[in-house]
Structure 1
Amino acid sequence: MFKALDSKQQIKLVFGIFVVFTAIELVNLFTGRMLNQFGNIPRYVPGLTGILFGPFLHGGIQHYFSNIIPLCIFSYLLLQYGIKRYVYVTIWIITLTGILVWLFARPATHIGVSGVVYGYFGYLLLAGFLSGKFKLIVISLLVGFFYGGLIFGVLPSRPFVSWESHLFGFIGGLVAAKFWATPSKI
């Protein structure tokens, strides 16, 4: 079903992700953030659509830029595990994070791809060590060294930051690493 991607194809895929998020951000910007009504609103039945749509929406340009750069970097690093693993882990993180935010987060409109970023962060931190492969262990070490400060984002800090998405995304990434760190698991 999925074929292995070489480095050039991985970069094209990451660029495609960048283009999709940028296009959605531009539409949202020029419509006065009208799309944000499709964010994840906890315990509000119409807010269930936000489980899938919320990660693609952002509250402003700064919010968008703070997410798109680590999303692209982590996507490329996660692609080192293969496209099939990338797709499975991404679907898992989006779904689990969205459901947990809908069930347990404070009442607000939760938007942004940071839950996915934190999920990738958790996966990349743990999966390399669990895989036992040198290249993937190096990725885990580099992610920990350069992005280790992200861990503080899982704690309540500012009123308009969905730390719940960060926390549930990170947990989802760790769980995904436990399940799918080795090639035989997928």
Structure 2
Amino acid sequence: MNGPSPAPHFSFPPAADTGGMTRPPPPRPTSFLDPPPRAVSPLAPGRPHVKAAAGVTAGLIALLWGQEVADQFLFGTRLDGYGIEPRQVGTFWHVFTAPFLHAGFPHLIANTVPLAVLAFMTAVRSVSRFLVATFLIALIGGGLVWLLGRSGSVHLGASELVFGYLAYLLGVGWWERTPLSVVIAVIAFALYGGVLWGVLPSNPAISWEAHLFGFIGGLVAAALLHRKVRRA
């Protein structure tokens, strides 16, 4: 959001000699015709943030779809090998590629809408914090999957980010407790709170570990970026 406009500068003729003292400038005259100052709602994010959030969200979705199209038609799904393979030495860096890979178009389609909605809600207040939160979710959530996930499997998909962004929004609402953060948290929970059952083991083909640890990564990111330190 843009900062307040700088105060206007006034110039006055030199004051007459009054024994080393100068007169203060006269107050600015006001008129009943002057419009009242416009109140800024604490719930309304600035237009630049909305545009930036929409842009970064569109870029994220375009990246996922572009990657999947290339993987399916150019690489023969070989890019899926860059998913997370728990405890495989030398593949830890896959924690940064796995959230952007999908096992086919149905998998990607299932993640696209919730990812777009939650990513936009996360980025609408600060794109820079959104990028840091995304990095932390991938690092912490993916790192825990690499350390504790089921062996003999490859974990991939943006659902790690979906659960991470949801947890991040809930955490920001809890720690900040500002009107905007609380409203966003309530909306996020109302829309996607039902997916939290996905942190429990169910279908062997679904990486519940990525859901659970992505959620934990989102909470940690919210705490690191928004928790206020109380001074004794």
**After the TM superposition, which parts of structure 1 deviate over 3 Å for at least 4 consecutive aligned residues?**
none
Residue 55 of structure 1: how far off its partner (Å): 1.1
Against the structure 1 CA distance between its residues 122 and 181, is the aligned structure 2 distance closer, same or farther, given a 3 Å change threshold? same
Residue 17 of structure 1 aligns with an amino acid whose one-letter code is L
Q: Show structure 2 runs of 5+ residues with no match.
A: 1-45
Residue 162 of structure 1 aligns with an amino acid whose one-letter code is S
Q: Which has the higher helix share?
A: 1
CA distance in structure 1 between the aligned counterparts of 2:87 and 2:174, rounded to whole angstroms: 37
CA distance in structure 2 between the aligned counterparts of 1:175 and 1:10, rounded to whole angstroms: 22
Note if 1:156 corresponds to 2:201: yes
Alignment deviations for residues 68-99 of structure 1 (CA, whole Å, 9 cap, x no partner): 21111111101133112111111100011111
> What are the within-5 Å matches in structure 2 for residues 4-43 of structure 1?
5-30=48-73, 31-43=75-87
Higher relative contact order (CA 8 A, sep 6+): 1
Residue 67 of structure 1 aligns with an amino acid whose one-letter code is N
Residue pair 2:118, 2:166 contacting (<8 A) in 1 also = yes
Give the counterpart of 2:172 among 123, 127, 131: 127
* 1:55 paired residue number: 99
Residues matched between the structures, number: 181
* 2:115 paired residue number: 71
Larger radius of gyration: 2
Give the counterpart of 2:124 among 66, 80, 98: 80
Residue 69 of structure 2 aligns with an amino acid whose one-letter code is L
Residue pair 1:128, 1:181 contacting (<8 A) in 2 also = no
* 2:182 paired residue number: 137
CA distance in structure 1 between the aligned counterparts of 2:190 and 2:131, rounded to whole angstroms: 25
CA distance in structure 2 between the aligned counterparts of 1:182 and 1:101, rounded to whole angstroms: 25
CA distance in structure 2 between the aligned counterparts of 1:121 and 1:52, rounded to whole angstroms: 19
Residue 126 of structure 2 aligns with an amino acid whose one-letter code is G
Q: TM-score under structure 1 normalisation?
A: 0.91
Alignment deviations for residues 139-182 of structure 1 (CA, whole Å, 9 cap, x no partner): 10111111111110000110111100100010111122222226
Residue 126 of structure 1: how far off its partner (Å): 2.2
Q: RMSD of aligned C-alpha atoms?
A: 1.7
Q: TM-score under structure 2 normalisation?
A: 0.74
Residue 112 of structure 1: how far off its partner (Å): 0.7
Residue pair 2:202, 2:208 contacting (<8 A) in 1 also = yes
Residue 48 of structure 1: how far off its partner (Å): 2.1
> What are the within-5 Å matches in structure 2 for residues 93-104 of structure 1?
93-104=137-148
Moved more, 6-15 or 91-100: 6-15
Residue pair 2:67, 2:101 contacting (<8 A) in 1 also = yes
SS in 2 for 1:160: coil
